[in-house]
Structure 1
């Protein structure tokens, strides 16, 4: 394999050294050809220089006929070819500004960098993100019939009017949960969903999971999440180190809202949320069961563009809720009931909390 690659590389180098003199002779005058030849020879080795000189003499020599793909490179034909070459270059420079210019070119990660707000939801935005494409008609769930607009080429088409309405409702739920100081968990375990999930969690100041959900994290949370670190914060989200070291929770902290972007693969997570009365938001495709989530969003769960739009809208909603909460807290009004420290204070003798 190595010998073959070296042979191919040498063959390409030899072909380049043979074709370059022909191009010089075809498009350049005699003085320009000489200057270009000297500049080219400086960057070549001794063997390559010999091969280059031999190819140049065969191409420009008066008694030798060039290769069929190149025109005769005599002193009489070089000037007209050079003149037409530079005339074409001048024409290209003069006409480069003709035509339409794109003032705002599309960027692949524009949605991630600047996610849309709930007020920016339009049918055109959802259509561009391919939110309307469902699965084949043979894989549909009959409970999704209320969300289906029609059939096209053997697949179900989701009604974008319903998608926009349900997405606005979910955004309002996320905003109110964030305003009340609740914990929001974003879950997306499919390949490619990591960036959108992390970005939405950063905006909403929530938490995210982009790997496999560990069964029992909610129903057996003390054994699985009991060793996780916790911290005490004030109404303005500033950590209180003197109180953090005295916290001892009897049960692990659970989220107040779970947003799942692929419910088909996370049925265990949704079942545990139901057992713990945790509301859920899910992207429901035509093959998913809408009764497994509290607030369904009918949309295409296979499109990363659709996921970025939905996660961006929900992240912006959480960001607005956090902003409202901090604004009210700065005026001295709390949107939630604070937990007294004596409820979670650690007993230094028993090593547990005392109430």
Structure 2
């Protein structure tokens, strides 16, 4: 039986709080903010507070391992210590900057409705991979099967582009279109991921438990927003905060995308300069070739034996000339004719 779907409890979790009797309900329209902040280094506790990152879950639904990151309680809801959240966010950003600067990729994971669009925008903005639909079991631990599914998706896309499945019956064409739609929904964000990522950025550790478990099994570091109902021990770099608020997810994911984008640019610049310098060095080497190596004039063992058996002076001179040793070369040993072994019969001439 499927687990009941969680209903947001506070305004910071995506739903407006109940309106007291006698007051008029007001509609709050959330403003559109840039995915990547202008300067991620200027993020302060006030920014996290305005984003609602400090709101946790109900006190009865907490995980005791989150106690060091909880500031207190208010109206039955845990309040997260934002000073610790900011320090741990900065630590995670430093790690991701070094990882991306070394040329490794980051996989963004967020399949809940609040995070789907933000995860997609942030990953595309910094040129990384993402999963915002359904996490397929074995995405990391069984990457070869995922690559075969990607190849199948490419084949269906090529057929659709060529003749829109005109060469197959209608029923098969309809089935192929549904399969292609499903493959795109699940694999479009990781279609070009041929190797394992260097790290995972996860929104809601409890919901993405399979992804976190696969990363831990393979030793892949995990950076995640950890709410008060999650286990921080499963995450390499936990960021305590509200993982249900749109603004909170946008602030943290935007900072991660900004760091990764800048680090990727710093890594790509020297690589491009090295690629430009390599052809020029090859051109100089081709225009000024070095001296050719002298050819060897040595004889094989079989040639020496044949020359020695000839016993002529001309053959010795030829051998000396080919060896290039001149008078200093050791004379070839004269091979005496073989005598018949003892016990062999000798032919005698009969007198006429």
TM range (shorter): 0.5 to 0.7
2:40 alignment partner in structure 1: 118
Return the match for 2:133 from 211, 219, 237: 211
Return the match for 2:210 from 244, 251, 268: 268
Asked whether 1:170 is paired with 2:88, we answer no
Question: For 1:118 and 1:268, how far apart are their aligned partners in 2?
Answer: 30
Asked whether 1:109 is paired with 2:32, we answer yes
Question: For 1:317 and 1:201, how far apart are their aligned partners in 2?
Answer: 12
Structure 1 regions of 5+ residues with no counterpart? Answer: 1-105, 230-250, 334-355
SS of 2:206's equivalent in the other structure is helix
Aligned CA RMSD, in angstroms, stands at 2.1
Structure 2 regions of 5+ residues with no counterpart? Answer: 1-28, 152-192, 276-352
Asked whether 1:196 is paired with 2:124, we answer no
SS of 1:157's equivalent in the other structure is strand
> TM-score scaled to structure 1, two decimals?
0.55
Contact persistence 2:114–2:245 (CA under 8 A)? no
> What are the equivalent positions in structure 2 for 1:292-331 lying under 5 Å apart?
292-331=234-273
Question: For 1:129 and 1:321, how far apart are their aligned partners in 2?
Answer: 25
Return the match for 1:158 from 69, 80, 94: 80
SS of 1:108's equivalent in the other structure is coil
Question: For 1:322 and 1:173, how far apart are their aligned partners in 2?
Answer: 13
1:227-285 Cα distance to aligned partner (Å, 9 max, x none): 536xxxxxxxxxxxxxxxxxxxxx95211111111111111111111111111111100
- Deviation for aligned residue 1:312: 0.3
> What are the equivalent positions in structure 2 for 1:14-29 lying under 5 Å apart?
none
Q: How many residues align?
A: 207
Question: For 2:38 and 2:53, how far apart are their aligned partners in 1?
Answer: 15
1:78-105 Cα distance to aligned partner (Å, 9 max, x none): xxxxxxxxxxxxxxxxxxxxxxxxxxxx
Question: For 1:117 and 1:174, how far apart are their aligned partners in 2?
Answer: 16
1:143 alignment partner in structure 2: 65
1:64 alignment partner in structure 2: none
Contact persistence 1:178–1:204 (CA under 8 A)? no
SS of 1:156's equivalent in the other structure is strand
Contact persistence 2:205–2:225 (CA under 8 A)? yes
Contact persistence 1:116–1:309 (CA under 8 A)? no
Question: For 1:290 and 1:117, how far apart are their aligned partners in 2?
Answer: 28
4+ residue runs over 3 A deviation: 226-229
Contact persistence 1:117–1:312 (CA under 8 A)? no
Contact persistence 2:114–2:244 (CA under 8 A)? no
- Deviation for aligned residue 1:153: 1.2
> What are the equivalent positions in structure 2 for 1:1-355 lying under 5 Å apart?
108-112=31-35, 114-228=36-150, 253-332=195-274
SS of 1:169's equivalent in the other structure is helix
1:92-148 Cα distance to aligned partner (Å, 9 max, x none): xxxxxxxxxxxxxx9711233x52533121111100000000011111111111101
- Deviation for aligned residue 1:183: 1.5
Contact persistence 2:85–2:240 (CA under 8 A)? yes
2:176 alignment partner in structure 1: none
1:12-48 Cα distance to aligned partner (Å, 9 max, x none): xxxxxxxxxxxxxxxxxxxxxxxxxxxxxxxxxxxxx
Question: For 2:144 and 2:194, how far apart are their aligned partners in 1?
Answer: 5
Question: For 2:217 and 2:148, how far apart are their aligned partners in 1?
Answer: 19
> TM-score scaled to structure 2, two decimals?
0.56
- Deviation for aligned residue 1:206: 0.5
Question: For 2:65 and 2:221, how far apart are their aligned partners in 1?
Answer: 20
